[in-house]
Amino acid sequence: MPRILFVEDDPELRLLVEHVLLDAGYEVDAAETLGAGAALLEHGDCDLLVADARLSDGNGILLAELARAREIPAIIITGYAFVLNEPGVDLGRYDVLLKPISPEELLASVAKALDARN
């Protein structure tokens, strides 16, 4: 079963999304910070990264760039669509979901990203 790394600093949203993914049959590693997510990405074995764009200690898009360098697809979740213009980052490389997201929207995006990887 595919393993998803989910990085979100809002504990309630992190728990909710983690349960949606687990209930859909995915294995999930969850992290609260950019640093913890980067460590899991570097030392773990994930098939997909799902990250909040704005984390308490940095920009989740940087995690997506790290994932991309390891040929791992990434999905960005954000409530701040107008502040995603990080210099040097092409958001066209990523699926971007706007908060609030529905479980159906999330699962469809996850399935699409995992299918594209195979």
Full set of structural domains in the chain with CATH? 3-117 (3.40.50.2300)
pTM given for the model: 0.91
pLDDT at 96 over 70: yes
β partners of residue 54: 59
Q: What is the pLDDT of residue 19?
A: 97
State the Cα–Cα distance between residues 10 and 12, nearest whole angstrom.
6
**In degrees rounded to 5, what are phi and psi of residue 5?**
-95, 120
Indicate the range of 77-86, 92-101, 104-113 predicted with least confidence.
77-86
Dump the DSSP string for 50-115: EEESEETTEEHHHHHHHHHHTT--EEEEES-GGG---TT--GGGSEEEESSPPHHHHHHHHHHHHH
Query: Could you tell me if 26 and 2 are in contact, meaning their C-beta atoms sit under 8 angstroms apart?
Result: yes
The pLDDT tens digits for 36-81 are 999 999 988 999 999 998 899 988 889 999 999 999 999 999 887 6
Structure confidence by residue, pLDDT tens digits, 4-42:
999 999 999 999 999 999 999 999 999 999 999 999 999
Residues 67 and 31: their CA atoms lie apart, in Å, by 15
